[in-house]
């Protein structure tokens, strides 16, 4: 079930909210747990068992790790739990990719396995790993109530597309959380804005990107329109989903951490990754980069650590070479920035730093979206006219006129401009009146787009 569906908005959500607020406090987690399993069951009727199994393993090994704390058994149990969790992820997500690449070197080919990728497995696996490691390190108390642990892992707002919520973030809230008008309204605001970002901008720009991919009338203008629309689409799609998840969390009394912080205003790639998918990059920092030694090792090992993290970041996004290249691409630029490029960028006028980031990010998403090396190279080369493509074509001009307004809204929406206006104390009286109207209109318009539209993918579902 996706948040931007009528089934979720006008059936699932009102029923769950209604029951959740009617039942006494002690039953609220149970309601959320049942709702979350139903939510997952709706999209993955068979893999719900896999998720339940993973939770059970995490629960048992969490207790074992805690019980044998400060002994070698504790580490052993952690390793076993990690191997099982990562093993399941590798089996379901990467097995065929591994077989495909091994087969390149074998005469007798290995048969592919027939498994579908369980929705959200990358997200909930990482949440469970963070819990196990935190319990092992003593950063989190072990959860002895399996229902509470299951509620944490399966919590439907963040279950299938993040953000990756750490156990320590909501450990206290699982026991005790507040429900106020203010918090609920804050949740509504985030949810409705996220819905609008997803439905009104990401989906519409996704249509443009798809029109480009299906076209035979290429032009330099069209390649740029594709690059820009794909870059905006992925941001509004994913950050919109994160906004909805955070908003839903607020409605149910949880405070999730931010996942995006206007990444397209970054002044370097290092800055970009502090603002983009924060829950994932901080996860890799805390559970891979730092345990490997971080930057407190020799220069060679430090560079190795960075590349390992970015190789894994790429792989996390998908079992294909373009994702690996995408991760390593960022790894290389991060290393260059740390070595010398960062200092050069700092001295540049801000505008050039922004252009540098946006160009690199746009190219990265062309790589990210590419289905083959040829397509990636063609789409990057097309930006500078390689392949004898004309500057414009009737189709590109038509779609530029047709989508220009959405692109401009997208560009403005990717900056904190509107947020600053709404948060301005000088304008508070006006914005307080306008905000409810604006949110109601946004909800109704987003619903109308869902009712009428057939194009409604969630890009981050594949992870």
Residue corresponding to tokens 């149990």: 77
Interface pick for another protein out of 175, 182, 258, 371 (rule CB under 8 A): 182
Q: Buried (b) or exposed (e) across 305-325, using 16+ Cβ within 10 A?
A: bbbebbebbbbbbbbbbbbbb
Residue 404 touches another protein, criterion: CB under 8 A: yes
Nearer to another protein among residue 349 and residue 394 (C-beta): 394
Instruction: Work out how close the CB of 421 gets to another protein at its nearest, in angstroms, rounded to a whole number.
Output: 16
d(CA 435, CA 189): 9
> DSSP for 311-374?
HHHHHHH-SSHHHHHHHHHHHHHHHHIIIIIHHHHHHS-HHHHHHHHHHHHHHHHHHHH-SSHH
Contact window for another protein (CB under 8 A) among 27-35, 143-151, 276-284, 390-398: 390-398
Residue 14 touches another protein, criterion: CB under 8 A: yes
Closest CA to 195 of 18, 462, 422, 444: 444
Contact window for another protein (CB under 8 A) among 184-192, 223-231, 253-261, 289-297: 184-192
d(CA 99, CA 110): 7
Nearer to another protein among residue 57 and residue 409 (C-beta): 409
Residue 181 touches another protein, criterion: CB under 8 A: yes
Angle between helices 394-413 and 203-213 (to 10 degrees): 150
Q: How many CB atoms lie within 10 A of CB 7?
A: 11
Nearer to another protein among residue 185 and residue 336 (C-beta): 185
Interface pick for another protein out of 447, 457, 461, 462 (rule CB under 8 A): 447
d(CA 101, CA 262): 37
Instruction: Work out how close the CB of 345 gets to another protein at its nearest, in angstroms, rounded to a whole number.
Output: 35
Contact assessment for residue 182 and residue 164, using Cβ atoms and an 8 Å cutoff: no
Residue 425 touches another protein, criterion: CB under 8 A: no
Within 8 A by CB and 6+ apart from 53, the residues are none
Looking at residues 120 to 179 of the shown chain, list those that interact with another protein (rule: CB under 8 A). Answer: none
Residue 107 touches another protein, criterion: CB under 8 A: no
For residue 442, what are the CA distances in angstroms to 144, 194, 437, 449?
Answer: 42, 10, 8, 10
Interface pick for another protein out of 449, 458, 460, 463 (rule CB under 8 A): 449
Residue 11 touches another protein, criterion: CB under 8 A: yes
Instruction: Work out how close the CB of 183 gets to another protein at its nearest, in angstroms, rounded to a whole number.
Output: 9
Contact window for another protein (CB under 8 A) among 75-83, 160-168, 371-379, 426-434: 426-434
Residue 204 touches another protein, criterion: CB under 8 A: yes
Nearer to another protein among residue 1 and residue 341 (C-beta): 1
d(CA 18, CA 183): 17
Nearer to another protein among residue 196 and residue 263 (C-beta): 196
Angle subtended at Cα 164 by Cα 162 and Cα 166, rounded to the nearest 5 degrees = 145
277 flagged as catalytic: no
Binding site for another protein (CB under 8 A): 1, 5-7, 9-11, 13-15, 17-18, 42-46, 181-182, 184-186, 188-189, 192, 200, 204, 215-217, 394-395, 398, 401-406, 409, 429, 432-433, 435-436, 439-440, 443-445, 447-453
> Residues with catalytic annotation?
317
């Amino acid at each position: 079930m996706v948040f931007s569906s009528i089934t979720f908005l006008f059936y699932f959500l009102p029923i769950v909210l209604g029951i959740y607020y009617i039942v006494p406090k002690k039953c609220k987690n149970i309601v959320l747990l049942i709702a979350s399993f139903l939510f997952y069951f709706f999209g993955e009727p068979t893999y719900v068992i896999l998720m339940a199994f993973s939770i059970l393993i995490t629960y048992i090994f969490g207790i074992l790790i805690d019980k044998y704390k400060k002994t070698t058994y504790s580490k052993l149990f952690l390793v076993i739990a990690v191997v099982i969790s990562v093993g399941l992820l590798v089996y379901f997500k990467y097995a065929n990719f591994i077989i495909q690449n091994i087969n390149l070197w074998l005469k007798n080919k290995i048969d592919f396995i027939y498994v579908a990728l369980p929705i959200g497995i990358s997200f909930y696996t990482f949440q469970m790993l963070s819990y196990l490691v935190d319990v092992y390190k003593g950063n989190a108390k072990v959860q002895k109530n399996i229902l509470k642990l299951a509620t944490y892992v399966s919590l439907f707002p963040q279950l299938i597309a993040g953000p990756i919520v750490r156990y320590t973030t909501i450990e206290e809230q699982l026991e005790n959380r507040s429900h106020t008008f203010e918090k609920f309204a804050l949740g509504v605001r985030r949810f409705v804005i996220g819905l609008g970002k997803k439905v009104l901008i990401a989906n519409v720009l996704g249509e443009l990107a798809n029109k480009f991919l299906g076209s035979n009338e290429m032009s330099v203008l069209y390649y740029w329109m594709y690059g820009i629309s794909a870059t905006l689409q992925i941001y509004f799609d994913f950050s919109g989903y994160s906004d909805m998840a955070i908003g839903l969390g607020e409605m149910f009394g949880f405070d999730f951490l931010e996942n995006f912080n206007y990444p397209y205003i970054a002044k370097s790639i290092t800055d970009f990754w502090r603002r983009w998918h924060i829950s994932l990059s901080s996860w890799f920092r805390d559970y891979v980069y730092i345990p490997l030694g971080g930057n407190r090792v020799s220069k060679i090992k430090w560079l190795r650590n960075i590349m390992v993290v970015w190789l894994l970041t790429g792989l996390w996004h998908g079992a294909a070479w373009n994702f690996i290249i995408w991760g390593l691409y960022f790894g290389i630029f991060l290393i260059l920035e740390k070595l010398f490029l960062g200092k050069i960028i700092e001295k540049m006028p801000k505008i050039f730093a922004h252009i540098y980031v946006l160009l690199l990010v746009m190219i990265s998403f062309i790589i990210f979206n590419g289905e083959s090396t040829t397509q990636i190279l063609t789409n990057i080369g097309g930006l500078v006219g390689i392949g004898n493509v004309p500057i414009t074509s009737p189709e590109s001009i038509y779609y530029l006129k047709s989508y220009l307004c959405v692109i401009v809204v997208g560009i403005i929406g990717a900056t904190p401009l509107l947020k600053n206006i709404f948060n301005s104390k000088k304008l508070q009286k006006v914005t307080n009146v306008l905000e409810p109207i604006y949110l109601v209109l946004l909800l109704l318009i987003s619903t109308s787009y869902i009712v009428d539209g057939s194009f409604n993918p969630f890009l981050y579902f594949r992870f």
